[in-house]
Amino acid sequence: MRSGGLIALEGIDGSGTTTHSKILYERISGMGVKAFLTHEPTDGPVGRIIRDILSGKLKVGHDVLALLFAADRLLHVHEIYDVMRNCFVITDRYLFSSIAYQGLFLPESWVRSINSRAPLPDLTILLDVDVDTAMSRIKNRGKREIFEEREKLERIRERFLRLKDEFNMFVVDSGRPVEVVADEIWDIFRRWAGI
Ligand code: TYD
């Protein structure tokens, strides 16, 4: 039985990473097991700069944005590294978001190399959803960010799916109702953790 580790939920915008990270966190904690919920971009100083770029308030090149994501991630890792030894740390997005998103605009090998000091997650769940469903969810949220365009999301979705075998990701069809998806994630977690 495991008592800790890093669990990453990944997927395109509108795939439900925030919703399902929260539900998984609540279910684990509800069993009296130690869990910690976190996200990227973080709420730290670099994460705040990233948010301004995503909203279009600040303009920088894709290379600078990729470096900021990588720096934000390393600061994040320093924060959670000790915690994940005896606690399930659930992160809403992590390393594979950089490979999928920033790798669309930059050489993927470079994106991988600037992120090479970030440890691989112990469990990755890829929430896969078709872009029509994702776009309609994004529209209902109101605020828009720079990656939220159909054609970009199509290509980012393909990039995530391409990574699934190399990194042993569990792919969950996230186009279904929230409770159905949450139950499947819960089953994956329990089997993996041996709980
Ligand atoms: P998102 O989870 O959508 O934040 P919010 O729900 O607050 O809008 O993440 C923000 C965006 O950042 C999303 O479009 C994915 C993108 N992103 C990257 O491009 N690279 C990364 O490494 C990470 C972590 C996120």
pLDDT along the chain (195 residues), means of 10: 98 98 98 98 98 97 98 98 97 98 98 98 98 94 84 97 98 98 98 97
Q: What residue owns the CA closest to ligand 1's atom 22? A: 98
Give me the phi and psi of 66, to 5 degrees please: -60, -40
Is any atom of ligand 1 closer than 6 Å to the C-beta of 38?
no
Binding site membership of 145 for ligand 1 (Cβ less than 6 Å): yes
The residue whose CB lies within 8 Å of the most ligand 1 atoms, and thus the one to mutate among 6, 9, 12, 13, is 13
Question: Is the Cβ atom of 106 under 6 angstroms away from ligand 1?
Answer: no
Residue 169 is predicted with a pLDDT of 98
Cβ 18 under 6 angstroms from ligand 1:
yes
Q: What is the pLDDT of residue 141?
A: 87
13 Cβ below 6 A of ligand 1: yes
Q: 122 in ligand 1 pocket by Cβ < 6 Å?
A: no
The pLDDT value recorded for residue 38 is 98
Note the pTM of the prediction, 2 decimals.
Answer: 0.96
Cα–ligand 1 centroid distance for 194 (angstroms)? 30
Index of the ligand 1 atom closest to the CA of residue 148: 14
DSSP-assigned letters across all residues of the chain: ----EEEEEEESTTS-HHHHHHHHHHHHHHTT--EEEEESS-SSHHHHHHHHHHTTSS---HHHHHHHHHHHHHHHHHHHTTGGGSSEEEEES-HHHHHHHGGGTS-HHHHHHHTTTSPPPSEEEEEE--HHHHHHHHHHH----TT--HHHHHHHHHHHHHHTTTTTPEEEETTS-HHHHHHHHHHHHHHHHT-
**pLDDT for the residue 90:** 98
What whole-number distance in Å separates Cα of residue 16 and Cα of residue 21?
A: 8
The CB of 174 under 6 Å from ligand 1? The reply is no
Each residue's pLDDT tens digit, 134-175 = 999 999 888 788 888 999 999 999 999 999 999 999 999 999
CA distance 125 to 186: 11
Query: What's residue 145's pLDDT?
Result: 84
Q: Count of alpha carbons within 13 Å of 170, Cβ hemisphere only? A: 20
So what's the pLDDT on residue 25? 98
pLDDT value, residue 83: 97
**How far apart are the CA of 4 and the centre of ligand 1, in A?**
25
